[in-house]
Structure 1
Amino acid sequence: MKNYEEVVGIDVSKKTIDVKCHLAGKHHVFSNEYKGYLSMFKWVRKTTKGVQLFYCFENTGNYSLKLASYLTLKEVPYVEESPITIKRSSGLVREKSDKIDASMIARYAWLYREELEPSKLKDIAFQEMGRLLGLRDQLVRNRAGLIGTFKETQQLLKSSSKYVGCVLLKRSTDYLAKQIKAIEARLQELILENESYSKNFSLLQSMKGIGFVLACQLIYHTQIFSRFKTWRQFSSYCGLAPYEYSSGTSIHRRKKCHYLGDRKMKSLLSMASISAIQHDQELRLYYKSKVAEGKPKMIALNNVRNKLLARAFDVVKRGTPYVLLKQYAA
């Protein structure tokens, strides 16, 4: 975002947006709706006297989606940044308020304006995929909780089939299972409707260990493999890449993964790796060789997770399905 003379930082909440013009030093609050956006534009033009500027705000899910959609519609340049990136770049902050947050966002955007790239609104199908994946995760967690309660109740009662609580729990879990299947059916429709989604989905499922849910999640989180240039960058995003930890001559700890990462992707890749070790001869031998070298089993499993990611990025880049070479060995 070079050659801009001003930046407007916006702290987005459910009902309001706090707007701060960085160099002008002015702050104002507007409603987080269409009328509020119109008022914001008028106030910004008056405050900044028509200089070239861009907007910056945090990605807060549905709250910031309305603002991003409006700015895209008006062809106004903006940057939608990760909240933790802005927080970590702000140093020690003792006070918390929407006004202070807007100032932090504006300051961050101004300091890093030469490195920031303009954001683009995801297409409607991509947004729906994200919402459906999030809803599916929530329903799966709710169903798992109800199943646990149902099993505990069964252990307490001699005849649980007649107990109204067990009957209701069974009906609830069955209903949630139907809803999960309906979400998966809609996800399948979205994939088939889009040629790019469908092609990448087929390529990913050609690999052992990568099933329907993980393939959808990979397509969504990598933005059809355009968000990350290499699998190593995505591995770091998921929290799977080991980093060095040393200082001077006395501190030399072994490399380990950073605690910051996408826990959902990390969990899915762990399950995929366990499945791949059981069904993929190459990965099974690879895992056993790492354990034979003396590596702990969790580190060996992490190596398999990274191996899966490397394969996923390779098959998408080549545009051809994965082929298990061991089956053709003499």
Structure 2
Amino acid sequence: MKNLRDVIGIDVSKSTIDATLYHSKLHSVFANDEHGYMGLITWVDGQLESGSYFFCFENTGNYSLKLSLFLSSKGLPYVEESPMRIKRSTGLTREKTDKLDSYMIARFGWMYREELVFSEIRSKEFQELGRLLALRDQLVRDRSGLKSTLKEQKHLLSSPSTDTCCKTLRRCIDHLDRQVSRIEKKMQELMKTNDLLYNNYRLLRSVKGVGLILSCQLLYHTGNFNKFENWRKFSSYCGIAPFEYSSGSSIKRRKQSHYIGDRKMKTLLSMAAVSAIQSDQELKLYYHRKLEEGKHKMIALNNVRNKILARSFAVIKRGTPFVNIAATNY
């Protein structure tokens, strides 16, 4: 990015996008659709020389996805960054408007232009996998809510209408069960459309505790294990890597994981760790050894989570399924 002389910060909302040129601070608003994107390009080309700038905006899910697809199709350089990272770079701000946000995004892009890497649109397989995972999560949350309601309704069976309510809730839950199963089947079929993706999927499934959802989430978040160099960096991304916290001689705490991380991945890895402790003799012994050393059970569980990540990255790097050596010795 050394040859680029300006950056356009874009604040993306549902219906509009606010764009600001960093150096001149020129600002304009466009519709968040293809017609608005064409207007954005025309406006920018009228102010800056072609090839001398790049776009920077926050990853806001479906709202920013349309803009990413458009810029990629036109071959224009852009950086789609985490909202948390941009927010923490702004310092103390008392005012919040879309115009100001777009300028602060442009400021972030210019300040960190030497470190930033241009974003690339995900392949169609990964876009579809992301949508399926998000939809499944939504359906599972809805199903959990209905199950809680059904449990409460069962305490009111003395009411004449309660039985009808329970039957309706059961039908809704059964319907969601079928839809979740259908999505999971579609995810398995999607894995088979790409040989490299399917091969890594099968390798991940060989690791104890790694099931369908966790393996798909690992493949999606790591970009088929191309975005992270090693499991330690991905552990930090998930929020389960321990960090030191000390300052001088007065502040010195034990190492602990940071609260910033991907909560979904952290939850899935916790479930995988609990399952692995029950089904994998080596991890079970490892977990209990940590408890005997005096570690809190949550710290021991976190060690198991990192073990699962280390195994997952190892099987992908080696290209061979995981073999539990300890189990073969029993």
Fold shared, TM-score > 0.5 on shorter chain: yes
Does residue 33 in structure 1 map to residue 38 in structure 2? no
CA deviation profile, 1:61-113 (whole Å, cap 9, x unmatched): 11111111111111011111011100001111111111011001100000111
Alignment partner of 1:114 is 2:114: yes
Question: Partners in 2 of 1:328 and 1:65 — Cα distance?
Answer: 48
The 8 Å contact of residues 238 and 262 in structure 1, kept in 2 or not, is answered as yes
Deviations 1:132-157 (A, max 9, x none): 10110110011011011111111221
Equivalent in the alignment of 2:200: 200
**In structure 2, how many angstroms separate the alpha carbons of the residues matched to 1:165 and 1:139?**
20
Q: Which runs of 5+ in 2 are unaligned?
A: none
Q: Could you say which residue in structure 2 is the equivalent of 1:231?
A: 231
Distance 1:224 1:201 in 2: 9
What residue number does 1:250 align with?
250
Amino acid at match of 1:205: R
- Structure-2 residue corresponding to 1:219: 219
> Which residue pairs with 1:65 in the alignment?
65
Question: SS at the partner of 2:27?
Answer: strand
- Equivalents in 2 of 1:36, 1:247: separation in Å? 50
* Structure 1 stretches lacking a partner, 5+ long: none
* Aligned-partner SS, 1:48: coil
Corresponding residue for residue 16 of structure 1: 16
1:168 has 2:168 as partner: yes
The verdict on how the C-alpha distance between 1:215 and 1:51 changes in structure 2, with shifts beyond 3 A counting, is: closer
Aligned to 1:29, what secondary structure does the other structure show? strand
C-alpha contact (below 8 Å) 1:24/1:48 kept by paired residues = no
State the aligned residue count.
330
Contact 1:160 1:166 in 2 (8 A): no
| Aligned counterpart, 1:281 | 281
Distance in 2 (CA, whole Å) between partners of 1:235 and 1:323 is: 22
Residue of structure 2 equivalent to 1:325: 325
3-state SS of paired residue (1:246): strand
Q: Distance in 2 between matches of 1:196 and 1:160?
A: 57
Return the offset for 1:288: 1.0
Tell me how far apart the structure 2 counterparts of residues 241 and 183 of structure 1 sit (CA, whole Å): 31
How far apart, CA to CA, are the structure 1 residues paired with 2:43 and 2:162?
A: 66
Return the alpha-carbon distance in structure 2 between the equivalents of residues 124 and 104 of structure 1: 32
1:133 partner amino acid: L
**What SS is found at the alignment partner of 1:210?**
coil
Query: Following TM superposition, by how much is the alpha carbon of 1:329 offset from its aligned partner in structure 2, in angstroms?
Result: 2.9
Question: What residue is the counterpart of 1:179 in the other structure?
Answer: 179
Q: Percent identity?
A: 57
Instruction: Tell me how far 1:47 sits from its aligned partner.
Output: 1.6
**How far apart are residue 158 of structure 1 and its match?**
4.4
- Give the AA of the match of 1:206: S
SS at match of 1:11: strand
Q: Indicate yes or no: 2:43 matched with 1:43.
A: yes
| Residues 153, 160 of structure 1: 8 Å contact kept | no
Q: Secondary structure at the match of 2:57?
A: strand
* Structure 2 Cα separation of the partners of residues 100 and 181 of structure 1: 45
In the alignment, residue 16 of structure 1 is paired with which amino acid? Answer: T
1:99 paired to 2:99: yes
On the 8 A contact 2:154/2:162 being kept in 1, the answer is no
Q: Which residue in the other structure is 1:127 paired with?
A: 127
Q: Which residue number corresponds to residue 263 of structure 2? A: 263
Q: Please say if residues 19 and 29 of structure 2, whose CA atoms lie closer than 8 Å, have aligned partners that are also in contact.
A: yes
Report the secondary structure of 1:163's partner residue.
Answer: helix
After superposition, the C-alpha distances for 1:111-130 in whole angstroms (9 at most, x for unaligned) are 11111111000011211110
Displacement of 1:159 after TM fit?
8.0
Q: Structure 2-normalised TM-score?
A: 0.97
